Amino acid sequence: MRASFSVTGHAGLEWWIIRITCFIILTVMLAPILMVLVISFTDGDTLQFPPPGFSMRWYLEVWAFLTGPDADLVRLVESLLISVKIAGATAVVTVLAGVPASYALVRYRFFGKTLIEELLGLPVVFPAVVLGISLLVLFSATKTDFGVWQIILAHSIIGLPFLMRNCMTSMKGIDVALEEAAKTLGASPVRVFHKIILPLASGGIASGAILVFILSFNEFTLSYFLYTVDVFPLPIWLFQQANTSFSPAVFAVSSLIVAINVLAVLVLDWLVAVRKQPDRQD
């Protein structure tokens, strides 16, 4: 009885230590975001924390920015649309390149496969600052200006590993017997890929595409080195506004972006849950 009590007490202590540690880590991670959300509702003219009062004043000002004729507000709308365009195009590019590549890595054996799988995570751990400078030097040395596509290319480099990891995980759960049965019935490899692989892996592809969209929409470092006067993403607009103005309106815009990202993550979680639902029924 004493040994059992001692083990139970020791396990309970470890449980509390884990809970307290996780709480501290989450608090440190979320504190800056929560501070931005709180300040965005201030009724003052400065970034005072805690705010002297709360109101929707700055959200109304952002709405006026979006609907008004002011040049700065027009710039905000343009940068928002450009960021959506870049993120959407990046998601499409990574899907077109990553889905076939994921299928090849999952189903085929070839020389250098292991090396490719290891190199797949290199853009994730490679410093974004160095990658941005390298791409800037490359485009400058070749004297090429692809406009918005050079940012899409840069975002695709860091987004491709995230999409492929999701696709590969999803494709590994597909029974090979389904493909063999389809081929036995006369289906071509292209038809098998279109009719069997894509529908069964659609959850992983969609979740990976949404994740890439979120990463591209919020990417600042690569965009900072590759943006131009005509291609001005939203993170760059926020950075310049934060440097030239201490208006809480910038925090209101940031809060709206956080809300959009949370909504996208919830959709991503829903897609993952839908993808796993048939497995639970089986």
pLDDT value at residue 282: 45
Give domain status of residue 58, yes or no: no
Residue 30 resides in a domain: no
**Whether 118 contacts 187, CB under 8 Å:** no
The model carries a pTM of 0.73
Give the model's pLDDT for residue 281. 43
Which CATH number goes with the domain that contains 264?
Answer: 1.10.3720.10
219 three-state secondary structure: coil
CA-CA distance, 206 to 221, in Å (whole number)?
25
Instruction: Assess if residue 43 is contained within a domain.
Output: no
Q: Say which amino acid occupies 7.
A: V
The predicted pLDDT at position 119 comes to 77
Q: How many domains, in total, are found in the chain? A: 1
**Mean predicted confidence (pLDDT) in 243-249:** 66
**How confident is residue 247, by pLDDT bands cut at 50, 70 and 90?**
low
Picking from 133, 137, 160, 148, the residue whose alpha carbon sits closest to that of residue 233 is 148
Q: Which amino acid is at 147?
A: G
Instruction: Report, as an integer, the average pLDDT of 32-40.
Output: 72
Question: Could you report the per-residue pLDDT of 86-127, keeping only the tens digit for each?
Answer: 988 999 999 998 888 888 888 888 777 778 777 777 777 777
SS3 assignment for 102-116: HHHHHHCCCCCHHHH
Average pLDDT over residues 157-169: 87
Farthest-apart Cα atoms in the chain, separation: 79
Beta strands in 61-204 (DSSP E): none
Q: Is residue 45 part of a domain?
A: no
What mean pLDDT, rounded, does the chain reach? 77
Which DSSP state fits 48?
-
32 occurs within a structural domain: no
> What is the average per-residue pLDDT within 189-207?
82
In the structure, what pLDDT confidence band is assigned to residue 276 with cuts at 50, 70 and 90? low
- Contact between 156 and 97 under an 8 Å Cβ cutoff? The reply is yes
Query: What is d(CA 123, CA 219) in angstroms, rounded to the nearest whole number?
Result: 14
Give Cβ neighbours of residue 277 (< 8 Å, ≥ 6 apart): none
- 144 vs 9, more confident: 144
Average of per-residue pLDDT across 190-195: 83
Please check whether residue 96 lies inside any domain of the structure.
yes
